[in-house]
Amino acid sequence: MTAILIALAAVLLVVACLAGASVRVLREYERAVVFRLGRLIGRRGPGLIFLIPFVDRMVRVSLRTVTLSIPPQDVITRDNVPARVNAVAYFRVVDPDDSVVKIENFLDATSQIAQTTLRSVLGKAELDTLLAQREELNDSLQQIIDEQTEPWGIKVTTVEIKDVEIPSTMQRAMARQAEAERERRAKIIGAQGEFQAAEKLRAAADVMSGNPTTLQLRYLQTLLEIGADQNSTVVFPLPIDLLKPLLETAQKQGLLPAGEGDPLSRWRPEQQEVK
C-alpha cells in the first residue's frame, strides 16, 4: 500500500511539473513567439497559453515603446566644425515574429544603426542648421532609421537630438559674432531714426518758413521750456533780422543816431577779406 501511494505521488508530481511547463500567462503588452521542434508556428497571447512540454519553445516579446538613449557621437559638420551630439530614439515592436527570426538582438541592432545614422546625417549639415533646424534633422533621422529597421519588425516613432556640444573657442567666436550682429542692428536703427527725424525737421522748417510768426512762437516756446528748469542764466539765439523794424523805428524817432546803410551793420561782424 505504501508503494502504491509513493507511485501515485510521483505521478502527480510529474503531472504537475508537466502542467507548469506547458502553461504560460502573458500580459496585455506581451506576445509569445512559439517554435515547435525549431520551426516557427506563430505568435500567441495575451492571456493563458499552452505549450507541449519538451517540444514547444517560447520567446517572450514586449510590444511597449522602448526609450533608447543614443550615446554621444563625435561628428564633424559640413563646415568643418567638430561637435559632440547625443540623442534619444523611441521605437516599438510591431511584428514579434520578425523581431525574433530576422534579427538576433533587435535592441542592440537598433542602437547601432541609430548611432551610425546620427553621424552620417549630422556630418552633412552645417553648424547653423544643427543648432537652428533640429526639427528637420529629427524628421530625417527618424525616416532613415525607420526604413532600416522595418524588415526587423521595428517601428521607430521619434528621434530627438538632446544636446549639441561645441568647443569653447567656437562658442566665443559665436558670441562675438552675435555681439557684432546686435551692434550692426543698433547702428542701422539709430541711422534710420536720425533720417526720419531729419525729414520731420525739414518739414517743420518748410512750414515755419512760410509764416515768420510761427518762428517767433517757436522761440517763445523754447524760452518757456528752458525757464521750467529754474536756470539763473538763459542764452538762446535770436536772429538780428527780427530787430530790424524796431531799430528803423527808433532811428526815425531820433532815439538812435541815424546812419547810412543798414541800421544793423554795427551789430554784424565785419567781413574780412580772405586772401
End-to-end CA distance of the chain: 151
Identify the CA nearest to 35 among candidates 60, 4, 63, 9: 60
Higher pLDDT residue, 173 or 189? 189
**Least confident piece of the model among 43-57, 114-128, 229-243:** 229-243
Length of the chain: 275
Give the confidence band of 146 by pLDDT, cuts at 50, 70, 90: very high
Spatial separation of the C-alpha atoms in residues 268 and 240, rounded to whole Å: 9
What is the pLDDT, as a whole number, of residue 174? 72
DSSP 92: E
What is the pLDDT, as a whole number, of residue 243? 63
Please determine, for residue 20, whether its predicted confidence score (pLDDT) is greater than 70. no
Average pLDDT over residues 104-114: 92
My answer on whether omega of the bond before 46 falls inside 30° of 0, hence cis, is: yes
What is the pLDDT, as a whole number, of residue 35? 92
Please determine, for residue 263, whether its predicted confidence score (pLDDT) is greater than 70. no
What is the pLDDT, as a whole number, of residue 275? 38
Average pLDDT over residues 163-167: 85
Homologous superfamily (CATH) of 66-166 is Band 7 domain (3.30.479.30)
Identify the CA nearest to 142 among candidates 118, 107, 109: 118
Cell of 44: 500567441
pTM assigned to the model: 0.61
Higher pLDDT residue, 151 or 228? 151
Please determine, for residue 121, whether its predicted confidence score (pLDDT) is greater than 60. yes
